[in-house]
Structure 1
Amino acid sequence: MLIKNIFIELRSRLRSCNVFITTGVDFTKNCNLKISIQTNCIVLNYYKDDYDKSKRRDSLSSIESLSDCYSEDEYEVTCVIPVRQYCQIIPNSMSCLKIDKSTISFRILTEPKNGGNFYKELLSANNFDSPTKGSVLKLNVKAGEELKLTCANCSNVVSGNCVKFDRVLELPTANLDMSEWFCHGHGHSHSHGETPQPSDGVIKPNKTDFLYRLTFFVVNNSVLSDKTNKFNSKREVYHCNRCLAWLGLKDKDTVKLYNSEIKLQQNNCETVVFAHKTVQDIHTDDFIYTIEYMTREFNLGFQYTVMCKIVLECTISATKKQYLLIWVMDKELQVLRNNVDTILNDKIELQSTSVTKILFKVEFCMNEEVESWVSDPGVVTTEISKGMFSNGLAHLQKMSQKVPESFRNSNGYCVSYLKV
């Protein structure tokens, strides 16, 4: 089998495609390859000569010369990659060709399908009417409704029987500085005539408040069971008293619980705090949704998507944190990839999907680079659970395998995608 995997980044605005092909052939051995760029497809002709090594040609620097050496019927394998459905290629526009062991990568230019050419395009009138997708959080907690908080790992009830919240409010972003909004103090103990006390930055909810953000919610420890509170009385990291799962963080009477580690019991039905598409893999789905939502909020009001920086913090012990630095490069990048089943049947069909392309790096302590990101007002920061951090990082590392190894790193950051 010549082709194992096809991954194409289609950039309609730049009129170009980045093509990455993984094959089952080691091109460092005695073999020849011809790549033909046509208007509606990409053709790969593979020829291997096991007997006459003098007939070997350099497939890296002289691809077109192969057509003069061999006729079409001499090739062992011919693969056609159809792209007519998605774009129109400019013939002989291939550049940046790189063949490394079993991988092929190159860049080609495209033309608009709706008229015009590489230099000009006819735009339709409804191109700028696309609505903002998924801008509303679907929260399963409502004021006045009874529910139970359970551990997502072992279903242990961590709340005090049925609890009812009088107020369900969304927390502001972590980048918000209250001193920039008001001219007076906002400490909980501050009143008229008293000396203002410096705020510790910790939000203290009332006993019946449910204060939530995208990745966690904050409650008063009075809504949690006495058994669970007693078990965590001397801990800063809040654990499940049955399975010892990390549920969140504790600060005096305030407990911050991560959405991915807690489930809700309502009317004998078990649900999550926020609705998800893939309930079986809540951590990865929550991770992807978090990045996409934060990127969407960052670009709110911009006509075009701008690059967004995100810092995801994870507490791994009472005194230690890990940081995942994410630089969103393309929010809605169109990607063409193959269907594995059709390749096994010697027929290649491409599927189009919209993904988010990012650069990421993991830092295990608060170093100079992390500090510069966190202190930047243009960087969005949030805390996530330990499970969400590890599953999300595994997802990014897996998606990074879609491109050849030589294209997986850039300036010390790893290249990856969401939802491929």
Structure 2
Amino acid sequence: MLIKSIFMEVRSRLRSCNVYITTGIDFTKNCNLKISIQSNCIVLNYYDDNDKTKRRDSLSSIESLSDCYSEDEYDVTSIVPIEEFCQIIPNSMSCLKIDKNTVSFRILTEPRNGGNFYNELLTSNTNESTPKSDEIKINLKIHDEVKITCANCSNVISDNIVKFDRILELPSTNMDMSEWFCHGHGHNSNTEPVLKSNKSDFLYRLTSFVINNKVLSEKSNKFNSKREIYHCNRCLAWLGLKNKDTVKLFNSEVKINQGNVEKHVFTHKTASEDLKIDDFIFTIEKLTQEFNLGLQYTMMCKIILECTISTTSKQYLLIWVMDKELQVLRSCGEHIESDKIKLQSCLLTKILYKIELSLNDEVEAWLADPGVVSTDISKSMFCRGVEHLQNMSLKVPELFRNTNGYCVSYLNV
């Protein structure tokens, strides 16, 4: 098979499309390939040069191939129909790069609603599909009698059966509390807001929740009395973070037991097989949504995900959201005909990311930037999230996986 996979980034407003093709051929040995850009499809023709007498010795480039052979001489042909999603401007290919078994280039597209390259007719009502943000469901109600257990070993860490009188969502920690009022309150406006919760309060934010440590068992509290990180007293699993008389526990690390039925506190409406990755993606999408709240257009958002490894060690994941609603066309493994590749369209988020293992100058600069939002995540969520980003970056050739010291990746691919 000539084409193994194809991944295309379509930017209709910019009228451009980046195409990344992975093939089953090593072009370092033979580069006998012809690419034809037509208005409704992309055609790849490959000639397997086993007979040295049929070609010139200098034939090694795409340009010379079309001069030397006719279309009937090609051994393998693959057609990528694209008219369902956009119209291509013929012969508009640029930025062609061939590396090992990958081919990448950029093509131009026609405006969707008529017009020309300098002006486009925009309609007030569009039928474009918009990405549906994931939603979470809270599996806990007021006065429910539950036990809080370790998700790893099912050890009960709560003080037997507990129930909560109030279940409230916490505001974003990145919000300026002074903007909530039309005049000042108090003489010191720089004072950090202090969260004071009752023993029976259940306060949640994103994929974590804060409870009073009196709700937890004496054995668990005694085991973690000299720790800033809250661990399971049986299996030593990472569960959450301590802050004075409260403990922040994370959804992926603990469960609630109600009527001998164990379940996580939060479940996702569009859940996958990996809860940690679901929590990771939900956190990034929710922070991006809050960052752009009230804005007409989506802006590039910077996010820091912090993970406390130990009392003296903290890791940071710097994320720069580049495209929130990027249309992507990719092969779905099905063929319309023997030589035609079927594409499917989806909207996803494109990001740049970097892992920092300590608080260095770059992390401090990000934290000091008022346009950057940050939050804590669990240790396992950090590790699984990084693995997810590394796997998603494989969708594009190696040449395009890094830029300016950051790695390129996607969410929800």
Post-superposition CA distance 1:238-290 (Å, at most 9, x none): 11122211000123321111122122223443332222133531101110111
TM-score of the superposed pair, with normalisation by structure 2: 0.91
Point out the more displaced range, 386-395 or 230-239.
230-239
Q: The residue matched to 2:222 in structure 1 has which SS?
A: helix
Point out the more displaced range, 140-149 or 219-228.
140-149
Find the aligned partners of 1:357 and 1:326 in 2 and give their Cα distance. Answer: 10
Whether 1:55 aligns to 2:48 is no
Unmatched 5+ stretches in structure 2: none
Q: The residue matched to 1:211 in structure 2 has which SS?
A: strand
Tell me how far 1:154 sits from its aligned partner.
Answer: 2.0
Whether 1:237 aligns to 2:236 is no
Point out the more displaced range, 232-241 or 268-277.
268-277
Find the aligned partners of 1:59 and 1:419 in 2 and give their Cα distance. Answer: 39
Whether 1:275 aligns to 2:274 is no
Amino acid at match of 2:149: T
From 282, 306, 317, the equivalent of 1:289 is: 282
Equivalent residue, structure 2, for 1:205: 197
Q: Structure 1 200/272 Cα, relative in aligned 2: closer, same or farther at 3 Å?
A: same
Post-superposition CA distance 1:114-166 (Å, at most 9, x none): 43343433333213998895486533333222222121222222112221111
Q: The residue matched to 1:230 in structure 2 has which SS?
A: helix
Identity %: 69
Amino acid at match of 1:127: T
Equivalent residue, structure 1, for 2:106: 107
Whether 1:266 aligns to 2:267 is no
Tell me how far 1:409 sits from its aligned partner.
Answer: 0.8
> Superposed, which structure 2 residues align to 1:4-403 within 5 Å?
4-52=4-52, 55=56, 60=61, 63-127=62-126, 133-134=132-133, 138-178=137-177, 183-184=184-185, 203-276=195-268, 277-278=270-271, 280-342=273-335, 347-403=340-396
Find the aligned partners of 1:278 and 1:156 in 2 and give their Cα distance. Answer: 25
Indicate conservation of the 8 Å contact 2:30/2:60, yes or no.
no
| Aligned residues: CA RMSD | 2.6
Q: Structure 1 130/309 Cα, relative in aligned 2: closer, same or farther at 3 Å?
A: same
Find the aligned partners of 1:415 and 1:106 in 2 and give their Cα distance. Answer: 17
Q: The residue matched to 2:195 in structure 1 has which SS?
A: coil
Indicate conservation of the 8 Å contact 1:7/1:402, yes or no.
yes
Find the aligned partners of 1:51 and 1:135 in 2 and give their Cα distance. Answer: 56
Tell me how far 1:17 sits from its aligned partner.
Answer: 0.4
Point out the more displaced range, 22-31 or 265-274.
265-274
Find the aligned partners of 2:66 and 2:272 in 1 and give their Cα distance. Answer: 53
Post-superposition CA distance 1:295-331 (Å, at most 9, x none): 1111111111110000000001111100000000000
Equivalent residue, structure 2, for 1:189: none
Post-superposition CA distance 1:66-104 (Å, at most 9, x none): 222101111111110111111111100001111111110
Amino acid at match of 2:294: G
Indicate conservation of the 8 Å contact 1:215/1:383, yes or no.
no
Q: The residue matched to 1:374 in structure 2 has which SS?
A: helix
TM-score of the superposed pair, with normalisation by structure 1: 0.90
Unmatched 5+ stretches in structure 1: 187-195
Find the aligned partners of 1:351 and 1:408 in 2 and give their Cα distance. Answer: 22
Q: The residue matched to 2:109 in structure 1 has which SS?
A: strand
Find the aligned partners of 2:312 and 2:303 in 1 and give their Cα distance. Answer: 22
Amino acid at match of 2:352: L
Point out the more displaced range, 108-117 or 339-348.
339-348
Point out the more displaced range, 75-84 or 123-132.
123-132
Amino acid at match of 2:247: V
Indicate conservation of the 8 Å contact 1:249/1:255, yes or no.
yes
